[in-house]
Amino acid sequence: MPFPVTTQGSQQTQPPQRHYGITSPISLAAPKETDCLLTQKLIETLKPFGVFEEEEELQRRILILGKLNNLVKEWIREISESKNLPQSVIENVGGKIFTFGSYRLGVHTKGADIDALCVAPRHVDRSDFFTSFYDKLKLQEEVKDLRAVEEAFVPVIKLCFDGIEVAG
């Protein structure tokens, strides 16, 4: 972990930066001007090969994630009702889809899948996810190639939502 920094002419010490995960970052330094120029050259070199999505496709992904997030929230409310939670809890129940991986980092390529994590309150368990949420997804006309992989090291539901692959 980095040491506190004291700047010249100042006696204030900045708190150490926090990091999450197993290992700390290799570097916290901002890119140099040459790094930015080389990155731009790389992007210009790759553009003719069609590896980047157009703005329209990026907006479509955002729309699909919004629909999935709404499905998750609706499903969690339904689960909460089925478990006879108080109405005040049901009205304020949480739950959300979070993206990670190449899509979240903004480095995905054209046609790449979206890695998503479904976060739900503690009264929703894994079996609910693989039964009632799976069934809810099955009813959506935009959902194709739906498959649950419960036995995997990281259990997942994979699907194609309106032409976009999602693993969550």
CATH code for the domain in which residue 152 is found: 3.30.460.10
Answer whether 78's CB lies under 8 Å from 132's CB.
yes
94-104 residue pLDDT tens: 899 999 999 99
Residue 59 tokens, joined: 């907006």
Please calculate the CA angle 101-128-67 and round it to the nearest 5 degrees: 50
The confidence band for 24, taking pLDDT boundaries of 50, 70 and 90, is: confident
CA distance 21 to 61: 27
Which of 104, 125, 126, 112 lies closest to 166 in space, CA to CA? 112
42 domain residue, yes or no:
no
39 domain residue, yes or no:
no
Burial class, 146, CB count within 10 angstroms (exposed 0-12 / middle 13-18 / buried 19+) = middle
110 domain residue, yes or no:
yes
Answer whether 78's CB lies under 8 Å from 120's CB.
no
Contacts of residue 125, defined as CB under 8 A and 6 or more positions apart, other chains included, come to none
CA distance 25 to 20: 9
Give me the domain span that covers residue 119. 55-167
DSSP state, 16?
P
Answer whether 72's CB lies under 8 Å from 97's CB.
yes
Answer whether 65's CB lies under 8 Å from 116's CB.
yes
106 domain residue, yes or no:
yes
123 domain residue, yes or no:
yes
29 domain residue, yes or no:
no
Number of folded domains in the chain? 1
80 domain residue, yes or no:
yes
79-134 residue pLDDT tens: 999 999 999 999 999 899 999 999 999 889 999 999 999 999 999 999 999 999 99
13 domain residue, yes or no:
no
